[in-house]
Amino acid sequence: MALRNIVVEGDEILRKKCREITDVNDRIRQTLDDMVETMHEAMGVGLAAPQVGIMRRMFVAEPEPGGTIYYFINPEITMREGSVEGEEGCLSVPGFAGLVDRPQKITIKGLDRNGEPQEFTFEDFEARVMCHEYDHLDGILYKDRAKEMYDLSEQYEEE
């Protein structure tokens, strides 16, 4: 496994729509493993392929540190229900947090790391993480949806 560089806001790669993956092969799995390692190193709860410069529709997520690691290839959100406000950050938007409305509950399907179909229903924080990562695949950053943004460095200076 290897650490990848995380692309930060300002790089146009984060604004592009990613392409579907047609073949779930060892190279894809290697990339997913690298993404997990990179996510852990950065202490994130999710990481999408464009954040490491790869324009493909896949992401990894670990909503609870040390808990289940989810791998999603060609994901599709097939059900959205309710709306909950919550705080989000992004490894590609360092130093900021924001308040975003997300569905309370979603169903998301796609392929797992072996290319097998999978479907999950997530609620609350897990649903938020999946929606956030899914957005990355369409070039959307959470700040596009944020009702309020906080500059964390300013907050620290004031304290």
For binding to Ni ion (CB under 5 A), which residues are involved? Answer: 90
Q: Which residue is nearest to Ni ion (CB)?
A: 90
Strand stretches in 82-135, DSSP E: 84-88, 96-102, 105-111, 117-123
Burial 3-28 (b: 16+ CB within 10 A, else e): ebebbeeeeeebeeebeebeebeeeb
| Percent of residues in the chain assigned helix, strand, coil, to nearest 5 | 30, 30, 40
Q: Which is nearer to Ni ion, 21 or 90 (CB)?
A: 90
Q: Which is nearer to Ni ion, 73 or 96 (CB)?
A: 96
Catalytic residue among 76, 123, 133, 157: 133
Phi-psi region of 130 (alpha: psi -120 to 50; beta: other; left: phi over 0): alpha
Task: Tell the smallest beta-carbon distance from residue 90 to Ni ion (Å).
Answer: 3
133 is catalytic: yes
Q: Which is nearer to Ni ion, 127 or 158 (CB)?
A: 127
Which residues are tagged catalytic?
Answer: 133
